[in-house]
Amino acid sequence: MKFRELTEKIQELKKKRNAIILVHNYQLPEVQDLADYRGDSLELSRIAAKTDAKVIVFCGVHFMAETASILCPQKKVIMPDINAGCPMASMITAKDLSKLKERYPKAVAVGYVNTSAEVKAGLDVCCTSTNAVAVVNAIIKDSAVGARLPDGQGSAFSGKKEIIFVPDKYLADFVEKQTGKKLIKWNGFCPTHIKILPEDIKREKKFHPKAKVIVHPECLPQVIALADAALSTSKMCKFAKETEAKEIIVGTEVGLIYRLKKDNPNKEFYPASFAAVCPNMKRTTEEKVLWALEELKEEVRVPDKIRIRAKKAIDRMLEIV
Ligand code: 13P
Ligand code: SF4
């Protein structure tokens, strides 16, 4: 089927099914072009929670579709490729988290949104790369204020001095540096972002001496140290729009470059490394989007027993930010 024909069929079916297509910033260009909304993990979940559509076609990875299902269980969330997972999210299980909590019973458990629903169910608070620093700062403040109040008048974090942060050790390291708070870390990481090396940044800076450097906080600390800013994908889009710089070196999954160029045609964007490709993000194709709409499959649904607990951790994050 030709691309135009395919796109028309998708648009037609989308109306018929009362569906919207949500697309993460790392998806293939042709999938990004099908989007009703493009965004980062947090933005897409928020849109999922607000939409009137009955069906959400989630073009991203599994934990993102699960998060949408946790926030809006009455809607049907489908993934064009159910096997698109996030290796970092798979680096910690619910059992691992509960053992860690047993070891540090007085700690607040904070977890990156890149976790399974089962892991989220064991967290006190969730966070994304956009708000991880704000979430940890809020816990530090809350813990200190709560400790000064009489028993029972503080919040969930009153007097809790330790903070567990899972699964990304590099995001945790970034948060430690920004907040000054030592965290109890897990040994997780993003296999895509660690492919970006300090020498990549140095080389690109040499080629483009006037360029600003932005990187994702999932990058290696040595890479973050060379950047002008470490930002989530949505904040990178904002930075690109607002900066006066005409050239930007981008240290994240290469899929973001398409959106950056489209939104800012008068600026130049250079990927820090072409090796930074997330194979799972590339599993979704236009054909698979069409099949998903035709068959309303594969559905991602989180059982209520897990969903209700996981939602508490997400709601706490949304209250904080
Ligand atoms: P963002 O929330 O910044 O889009 O990041 C999601 C992700 O998986 C990064 O690798
Ligand atoms: Fe997971 Fe990394 Fe892919 Fe993001 S880029 S979905 S963190 S593997």
Q: Which residues of 247-279 are buried (b: 16+ CB within 10 A; e: fewer)?
A: bbbbbbbbbbbbbbeeebeebebbbbbeebbbe
Ligand 2 center to 1 CA (angstroms): 30
Q: For ligand 2, is residue 280 a contact (CB within 6 Å)?
A: yes
Which ligand lies nearest to the CA atom of residue 277 in the structure? Answer: 2
Q: How far apart are CA 280 and CA 58, in angstroms?
A: 13
Q: How far apart are CA 294 and CA 311, in angstroms?
A: 30
Q: For ligand 2, is residue 61 a contact (CB within 6 Å)?
A: yes
Ligand 2 center to 129 CA (angstroms): 12
∠ CA 40-43-46 to the nearest 5 degrees?
Answer: 145
Which ligand lies nearest to the CA atom of residue 195 in the structure? Answer: 2
Q: Among the atoms of ligand 1, which is closest to the Cα of residue 216?
A: 3
Give the closest residue (by CA) to ligand 2 atom 5: 278
Q: What is the pTM of this model?
A: 0.94
User: Which residues, 6+ apart, have CB-to-CB distance to 177 below 8 Å?
Assistant: 221
Q: For ligand 2, is residue 260 a contact (CB within 6 Å)?
A: no
Ligand 1 center to 293 CA (angstroms): 25
C-beta of residue 61 within 8 angstroms of C-beta of residue 46:
no
Pocket of ligand 1 (CB under 6 A): 25, 40-41, 114, 128-129, 190, 218, 232-233
Q: What is the pLDDT along the chain (321 residues), one digit of tens a residue?
A: 666 789 999 999 999 999 999 999 999 999 999 999 999 988 898 899 899 999 999 999 999 999 999 999 999 999 999 999 999 999 999 999 999 999 999 999 999 999 999 999 999 999 999 999 999 999 998 887 655 555 555 567 777 789 999 999 999 999 999 999 999 999 999 999 999 999 999 999 999 999 999 999 999 999 999 999 999 999 999 999 999 999 999 999 999 999 999 999 999 999 999 999 999 999 999 999 999 999 999 999 999 999 999 999 999 998 888
Which ligand lies nearest to the CA atom of residue 237 in the structure? Answer: 1
Ligand 2 center to 24 CA (angstroms): 11
Q: For ligand 2, is residue 190 a contact (CB within 6 Å)?
A: yes
Ligand 1 center to 55 CA (angstroms): 23
Answer CATH for 193-271 from 3.40.50.10800, 3.10.20.30, 2.30.42.10, 3.80.10.10: 3.40.50.10800
C-beta of residue 108 within 8 angstroms of C-beta of residue 92:
no
Q: Among the atoms of ligand 1, which is closest to the Cα of residue 252?
A: 10
Ligand 1 center to 233 CA (angstroms): 6
First to last CA, the chain: 45
Q: Is 1 helix (H, G, I), strand (E, B) or coil?
A: coil
Ligand 2 center to 53 CA (angstroms): 27
pLDDT tens-digit series, residues 1-40: 666 789 999 999 999 999 999 999 999 999 999 999 999 9
Answer whether CATH 3.40.50.10800 is correct for domain 89-190. yes
Q: For ligand 2, is residue 87 a contact (CB within 6 Å)?
A: yes
Is the torsion defined by CA of 145, 147, 150, 151 positive or negative? positive
Choice from 40, 234, 280, 282 to test ligand 2 binding pocket (greatest atom count within 8 A of CB): 280
Give the closest residue (by CA) to ligand 2 atom 6: 86
| Assigned architecture for domain 3-86+281-303 | 3-Layer(aba) Sandwich (3.40)
Is the torsion defined by CA of 237, 243, 247, 249 positive or negative? negative
Amino acid at 320: I
**Residue 163, H or E segment:** strand 163-166
The CATH 3.40.50.10800 domain(s) of the chain lie at 3-86+281-303, 89-190, 193-271
Which ligand lies nearest to the CA atom of residue 216 in the structure? Answer: 1
Which ligand lies nearest to the CA atom of residue 128 in the structure? Answer: 1
Average pLDDT, the chain: 94
C-beta of residue 124 within 8 angstroms of C-beta of residue 142:
no
The residue written with tokens 């890149």 in the block is 114
pLDDT tens-digit series, residues 179-230: 999 999 999 999 999 999 999 999 999 999 999 999 999 999 999 999 999 9
